[in-house]
Chains A and B, each alone.
Chain A
Amino acid sequence: MTQLYARSAPVEQLARLIRRLDRRQKAALLRLVPELQTIRPDELAIPAEQNDLLAYFDAKIATPSEVRPLRDSDPFLGGLTVAEFFAAPEAEQARIWDTAHTESLQTLNDYEHPIRPDAVSAR
């Protein structure tokens, strides 16, 4: 089974570096990045219901081995990489997604999909 996406390498590298710091250096780091102190550990706790919901999709996430995982540095939409897109605020993701759809709509202006005369209506 292939992973859906590769782990965020920069964050894990950073974590390894931080683990090597002594207490004085870690205190200096907290002074330099004070917002770290505002993050509660339970903010990132995954609720049990979420694990159940995601477990439902595990079989779909199992992809052929020739498909490589999504990497943070891969190009995504709007000129952003995967990491940049998924880290962007929701409003920015929506704007990029909307723009891509508007372009798609324009390319399909004259598109007419064939249909069978006995097609089954949703009536």
Chain B
Amino acid sequence: MRCLLDKNLVRYILTGLHDGRVRPLTPLETDALSLWRAAEEHGITLFISRYTFNVLQRLQPYPLAQIVLNAMATLSPTRYHPRWARRIRESTGLSREDAAMIALASFGSNDAGEILGVHWLATRDQPLLNGYRATLPALERRFRAMTAQLPAPFCDAALPRLMSPDDLQVRWQM
């Protein structure tokens, strides 16, 4: 099973690891680090987006960035990512960046090109969670119509489940 982390969860991981020995962690930092630990304990592969990967690469000389880059795989956009991101924006009114992340969760692949999409997108962004859930039936219809026309492996693409870190941890414990 695979889970993509949104950009802010990665930021909370960085600030938590940087400051965690000198001050109490914020609930957001605790959540993000706990999610990482829970994922490893349950055999879930964590991914960062190619967008976050690029940002961390700028910080690569530093161990703080290397810890994340070494531990997490990168999910990169494949052929039909832009088309699906555009349709998500049309259906949901979400921002370009949010639509790109949701589309990446369906049409992203790892470095070796061996996988298509992830099962979960972890985010604490409440407007994103609400916007996705509210429009999910319409999105599912458009997604089925689009993927039915695509060649392999894209015809097997799936929509991700968007969940908060705490909900994901509860789910993984079930």
* A63–B66 touching, CB < 8 Å: yes
Q: Are A5 and B64 in contact, CB atoms less than 8 angstroms apart?
A: yes
* A50 in contact with B153 (CB, 8 Å): no
> How does the 8 Å CB contact mask read for A65-82 relative to B, with 1 for contact and 0 for none?
001111000101100001
> Does B116 contact A104, Cβ atoms closer than 8 Å?
no
Contact A122 B2 (CB under 8 A): yes
Would A112 and B78 be within 8 Å (CB), given that A54-B20, A122-B117 are in contact? Answer: yes
Binds A, one of B48-56, B86-94, B131-139, B163-171: B48-56
- The reply to whether A61 and B55 contact each other, CB–CB distance below 8 Å, is no
Binding site for A on B (CB under 8 A): 2, 7-8, 11, 15, 17-26, 30, 33-34, 36-37, 50-52, 54-55, 58-59, 61-64, 66-67, 70-71, 76-79, 81-82, 96-97, 100, 105-106, 108-109, 112-119, 151-153, 156-158, 160
Query: 8 closest pairs, A vs B, by CB?
Result: A113-B76, A121-B156, A122-B117, A104-B54, A123-B158, A115-B113, A63-B63, A104-B51
